[in-house]
Amino acid sequence: MKYDLFVSDFDGTLVKADGTISEHTKQVIAKYRARGGIFTICTGRMVPSILPRARELGITSGPVIAFQGSVVYDMGTEQVLSSGHFPLQAALSLIRMLEAEKLHIHIYTVWHLYTNLRDEMLVLYEKVCGVKAEVPACPLSEFAEREKLDIVKVLVMVEPEKREALRERLSQRLGEEYYVTSSSDWLVEVMPAGENKGKAVTFLSGYYHIPQERIAAAGDQLNDLPMLEAAGGKFAVSNGVEALKRTATLIPSNEEDGVAYALEQYVMKGPSPEGGQQ
């Protein structure tokens, strides 16, 4: 096999729109792992959200990557191997700015989610991710300051037509100390600078002693771009954003088992291109 480790985004890449993973995809991943390959999920989701989905694939040990690469959790030992978070004052400054704009805000620690608004969008998010948000009685900034939270991610829920404008505005206002990205049409996510999925690939390379050129990655959104840039094999599902597809080998959509296709056609048989559409 050309690639010893395959890192896959979850939502929009591995999982279908209805929240399921096909039996074919599960079988192909099992076949890849039986041949000695290592399959790892790298997602923007929380640790509690992604763990049951990883187990659904038969993965019960080794790292799973959460929070856009910021948190690495070992499923076997049940230990956090690596965790990045905002300095508290930087997080408070960001949250207060978002509160001033009256936005729908989420703040995350490794194990908990807090929000300032319970609405239909939050209910859908909780259902998709399998987590429950807490709504403090006071503003999120006051709550975070009082509890001295170690915040790993801040997220804004927004209507899809407003997402890109908000992402660009936040990128310009926040500057180089923050990483602003998006993992779906209705989410804008802010991390400390340097906390991204590319960092996760570098971590996995060192953890497993596998050169990065022997690691492949697949994704669909802007937040997956650092991951693909750090990996030797670069794959983008056809339902992905154009910026990603321009830099990667195009594979079928998440609805058409794109990850399974990449494993079967490029990883477990024959040479695999390292970029450019096929």
pLDDT tens digits in sequence order for the chain, 278 residues long: 899 999 999 999 999 999 999 999 999 999 999 999 999 999 999 999 999 999 999 999 999 999 999 999 999 999 999 999 999 999 999 999 999 999 999 999 999 999 999 999 999 999 999 999 999 999 999 999 999 999 999 999 999 999 999 999 999 999 888 999 988 889 999 999 999 999 999 999 999 999 999 999 999 999 999 999 999 999 999 999 999 999 999 999 999 999 999 999 999 975 444 444 33
Question: Can you give the pLDDT at residue 269?
Answer: 75
Across the strands, what pairs with 112?
none
Please count the other Cβ atoms lying within 10 Å of the Cβ belonging to residue 246: 12
Strands 5-8 and 215-219: parallel
Question: Can you give the pLDDT at residue 176?
Answer: 87
Q: Tell the residue number behind the tokens 């599960």, with chain if given.
A: 26
Question: Can you give the pLDDT at residue 87?
Answer: 94
How does 158-197 read in b/e, with b if 16+ C-beta sit within 10 Å? Answer: beeeebeebbeebbeebeeebbbbbbbebbbbbbbeebbb
Question: Can you give the pLDDT at residue 129?
Answer: 93
Beta carbons of 160 and 124 less than 8 angstroms apart: no
Cα 212 to the center of its chain, rounded Å: 19
Question: Which residues have CB under 8 Å from 215's CB, separation 6+?
Answer: 3, 4, 5, 6, 7, 201, 204, 205, 230, 231, 232, 233
Half-sphere exposure (Cβ direction) of 191: Cα atoms closer than 13 Å:
22
Question: Can you give the pLDDT at residue 257?
Answer: 98
Question: Can you give the pLDDT at residue 273?
Answer: 40
Question: What is residue 111's DSSP assignment?
Answer: S
Question: Which residues have CB under 8 Å from 273's CB, separation 6+?
Answer: 249, 266
Can you give the pTM of this predicted structure? 0.87
Phi/psi at 257 (nearest 5 deg)?
A: 60, 50
Q: What is the CA radius of gyration of the chain?
A: 18
Question: Can you give the pLDDT at residue 272?
Answer: 41
